[in-house]
Structure 1
Amino acid sequence: MAKPPKRRDPLSILADDPQGRSLGLDLPPGGVVRRSGRRRWGKEPEPLVWVSDEAVGVGALTAHRGPHLAAAGLQAVLLQDRAGLERWWQEREFAPERMSDPDDHHVEPVLRAFWSRVVPDPAEGEEGEEIIAPFGRDWPGLAMTAPSDGPESPDGPESPDGPDGPDGPDVPEDPEVAACALADELIERGWLPAPRLALVPSRRAADVPTALGWGGPTNYEADTALISVVLRSWEDRFGARLVALGFDELHLSVAAPPPTAALALPVAAEHFAFSPDNIWQGCGSIRAYTEEAVIGSGHWSFWWD
């Protein structure tokens, strides 16, 4: 019996068909970026990611983050230049071969290990304690999500009308709708002044950094699979979706952010463990960061110095 033809990698198809019409896509002008390494036996290195030639605008993620893309096994995200590092994705910045498999890790031990790296030394005294208050040096555990019938109030039961008015709590957004809306907002507000559309072969958006071998957090954590493990958990608990990557920054949409301080404080602790520069070089404490960047926020951003 003849073997069925081997299914081609979607990026190999895009190398020959850059607009993706054979995959049911209608992409802007662009092309594949190949893995680093030498040619073998005259063959080009394998393609790693498809990237648009020019910056895309509002509506780009909505237009291309659809069922045809999912059927092809691709995830659409935005890549953003940084001053002095324009088109950094073309400079052999990716190293997927150095990353482990996210399936080999679990979020709780990953975040516990991260937390142990960043908690202040006891010698720092009250100043160090204030950074992580109300938590101590022990890992506080994973944050809980808001109950489906509305957020719990730290001051007692909600009024009969519910926390969001006479109609009760807001229904969480569809995560993909929230992702596309945030992409448009970041472009409109200048957070992403010249983003490129990128297509990455990955089962879920959380795994994109690992599939690329993205090196953004290298000065903190060189194995991006551990970053993906945390992103997977945030996908499941908060409806988070990866929207954009910069050279050393990451933007997530959040469809179901924690609505109260009580629920948001443990999330802020996870953020501190995941990306301590958000607090060390930001608002200075977990309490302040909770108020500024977590409660009800549909946009979580991270960067590593």
Structure 2
Amino acid sequence: MTTPSHPLSALSALSALPDGLGLPAGSVIAQGGAPLLWLADETAEPGSWAQLRPAAESAGLLPVLLHDTHGPAEWWTDRLLPGRMSDPEDHHVEVVLREYWEAVVPDEAEDEDPEGEGAELIAPFGRSWAGLAAPGAAGADPEAEAAGTAEALLASGRLRNPRLGLVPATRSADIPAAIGWTGPTNHENDTARLGAVLRSWEERYGARVVALGFDLLDLSVAAPPRTSAESLAVAAEHFAFAPDNIWQGAGSLREYAQELPGSRQWTFWWD
């Protein structure tokens, strides 16, 4: 798990001196005596994401919004399992996505018609993993895009009980594994494997982890795919990463891909 050298002292400083760092009142969430993150006590309001910047820059912590939309209230008090997670560094994105793809694509042997519903769901792709999508073109500043996405989420009212959080991690993609987030547990028990994909999206699309719910993940995207072909390839990665986006959403990769060109926010959920 990727953390600063002294996360305890950094998080303790935030808890003891929130006023000096421009933060609202908050406390450190810990598991087994190990500090995982600092979390504000009160619900975040539009405009409050900027409060995290001074502390994040001075203490080497990264911002995130936690909320209890679609899940138990304040799930972060007892549903974080950092001991179950490995390190995203230990996993290769191609291997992870290939394994996910092979696990979630319809089994041809179970299809009465090999060219029927199962094949149509993943068209134009076959049952073998097609490889990574091409990187997005140079886009907006990723940190500015993350701030804008966070403020848009807060203003939308979609997040229930959102809290400002700060996590001891060196890159945004590592936030879920660093705190032991278990949102995708029905798809993947080791969130660090998903973290390997998030790292790749961070590099290829300027993605940043902005918000975590009980089973929801919101990313900002600074360099999204622009064309239909690029979006189809990204849609295949999204299906492998979070199949419920298609199974319980668009219904097929082609339909889902239509939502992606130019989209600067990606949302994932796991049932």
TM-score between both structures, scaled by the size of structure 1:
0.82
Q: Secondary structure, in 3 states, of the residue corresponding to 1:222?
A: coil
Q: Secondary structure, in 3 states, of the residue corresponding to 2:258?
A: helix
Partner of 2:102: 116
8 Å CA contact retained: 1:179, 1:243 = yes
Partner of 2:228: 261
2:134 is the counterpart of 1:128: no
8 Å CA contact retained: 1:187, 1:193 = no
Alpha carbons of structure 1 residues 287 and 203: separation in structure 2 relative to 1, 3 Å: same
How far apart are residue 88 of structure 1 and its match?
1.1
Q: Aligned to 1:219, which of 186, 195, 207? A: 186
Q: Which runs of 5+ in 1 are unaligned?
A: 1-5, 38-44, 149-171
How far apart are residue 89 of structure 1 and its match?
0.8
Which structure dedicates a bigger proportion of its chain to helix? 2
2:45 is the counterpart of 1:57: yes
Q: Secondary structure, in 3 states, of the residue corresponding to 1:231?
A: helix
Per-residue CA deviation, residues 112-134 of structure 1 (Å, 9 max, x unaligned), is 11101111111323110000000
Per-residue CA deviation, residues 153-197 of structure 1 (Å, 9 max, x unaligned), is xxxxxxxxxxxxxxxxxxx11111111111111122222243100
8 Å CA contact retained: 1:59, 1:180 = no
2-side partners of 1:233 and 1:14: how far apart? 30
Alpha carbons of structure 1 residues 275 and 235: separation in structure 2 relative to 1, 3 Å: same
| Aligned counterparts, 1:8-19, within 5 A | 9-15=9-15, 17-19=16-18
Counterpart of 1:77 in structure 2: which amino acid? V
Q: Which runs of 5+ in 2 are unaligned?
A: none
2:75 is the counterpart of 1:76: no
Runs of 4+ in 1 over 4 A off after TM superposition: none
2-side partners of 1:215 and 1:105: how far apart? 18
Q: Aligned to 1:298, which of 258, 264, 268? A: 264
More relative contact order, 1 or 2 (CA 8 Å, 6+ apart): 2
8 Å CA contact retained: 2:137, 2:224 = no
8 Å CA contact retained: 1:29, 1:52 = yes
Q: Aligned to 1:32, which of 24, 28, 33? A: 28
1-side partners of 2:36 and 2:162: how far apart? 18
Instruction: Name the stretch that deviates more: 246-255 or 48-57.
Output: 48-57
Counterpart of 2:95 in structure 1: which amino acid? P
8 Å CA contact retained: 1:61, 1:183 = yes
Counterpart of 1:182 in structure 2: which amino acid? T
Partner of 1:47: 35
1-side partners of 2:64 and 2:137: how far apart? 30
Counterpart of 1:58 in structure 2: which amino acid? P
| Aligned counterparts, 1:75-224, within 5 A | 75-82=62-69, 85-90=72-77, 92-122=78-108, 123-124=110-111, 125=114, 126-147=116-137, 172-224=139-191
2-side partners of 1:12 and 1:46: how far apart? 11
Q: What is the aligned length? A: 262
Alpha carbons of structure 1 residues 60 and 291: separation in structure 2 relative to 1, 3 Å: same
Q: Percent identity?
A: 54
Alpha carbons of structure 1 residues 280 and 200: separation in structure 2 relative to 1, 3 Å: same
Per-residue CA deviation, residues 75-99 of structure 1 (Å, 9 max, x unaligned), is 1100011356111111x11111111
